Structure 1
Amino acid sequence: MIGLVVVGFDILPEAILVALQCMTGKQKQICAVSISIDEDVKAQRQAILEAISSVDEGAGVLVFTDSAAAPAGLIMMSIIDKENIQVLHGVNLTMLCKVVEQREYLELEDLAKLARDEGRKGISWLSP
């Protein structure tokens, strides 16, 4: 099964995983990494690498970040060269719900594409 890591500012990663598990039930091979603007970048990078390692059982890891331009996204630029890691920026609940539903059945790259597509579908605009 593909491992999942959510990385972002402050409480966002933990909060989105709480919401996800309220909707889908308890999940295995998933964790959150909070980024603080006060923390050393090397320490943040190491925390992300440890999280990736903790959920990787051989099928790869899909990492979600809050934004490509935020620290989590920038740190992932230096990690993406590792094999069996795919990164999606702009995490949302819609994509995570679909990913936990399908991660046992798809290859890593296919799961990343599905997450991207479902994430886009989860964005809507309401206007009077």
Structure 2
Amino acid sequence: MTVGILLVSHNNIGTELINTARQMLSCCPLPTKVISIQTKDNPEAIRLEMDEDLKKLDQGHGILILTDMFGSTPSNIACAVSDRTDIRVVSGLNLPMLIRVLNYPALNLEELEIKALSGGQEGVVRCHHTGYSRK
């Protein structure tokens, strides 16, 4: 069972995140594609591109779309194509979310969606001074 992963983001955010994840994991265990949206891009043209990418990624087990920010153009376009039951969209893409998803390539679409949510949320932490100092 292989779920396809589509990253949809502003500029090169998705590209840089997947490149970093590949370096960290030494591979990319799931089929992935990145759509980078520039401010000058036509949303309808991007939607058509996304439809084509979804066809290429679809191996019969669903597609998880990860977008960088809810309510933004990348997220809105992704939500517009998510009327299929085999597509899930999660916004708030960050490196911990992506690593978490890629670490579980055998999970089904619903389980990967949950991993994306937990990875993204747990990857945001408040760092504070612990009292350690260099001498």
Which residue of structure 2 aligns with residue 5 of structure 1?
6
Which residue of structure 1 aligns with residue 116 of structure 2?
115
**CA–CA distance in 2 between the matches of 1:35 and 1:2?**
23
Match for 1:81: what amino acid?
Answer: D
Q: CA deviation at 1:3?
A: 0.6
Residue 66 (structure 2) pairs with residue 103 (structure 1): no
Q: CA deviation at 1:26?
A: 2.6
Match for 1:108: what amino acid?
Answer: L
Q: CA deviation at 1:100?
A: 1.2
Q: Percent identity?
A: 24
Q: CA deviation at 1:13?
A: 1.1
Aligned residues: 127
Residue 54 (structure 2) pairs with residue 52 (structure 1): yes
SS at match of 1:102: coil
CA-based RMSD:
1.3
Deviations along 1:74-104, whole A, 9 cap, x unmatched?
Answer: 1122111023101100011111112112122
Instruction: Flag structure 2 segments of 5+ consecutive residues without an equivalent.
Output: 130-135
The equivalent position to 2:70 in structure 1, one of 46, 68, 71, is 68
Instruction: Flag structure 1 segments of 5+ consecutive residues without an equivalent.
Output: none
Q: CA deviation at 1:65?
A: 0.2
Q: TM-score, normalised by structure 1?
A: 0.92
Q: TM-score, normalised by structure 2?
A: 0.88
**CA–CA distance in 1 between the matches of 2:79 and 2:18?**
23
Q: How does 1:9-88 map to 2 (within 5 A)?
A: 9-27=10-28, 28-88=30-90
Question: Which 4+ residue blocks in structure 1 deviate beyond 6 angstroms?
Answer: none
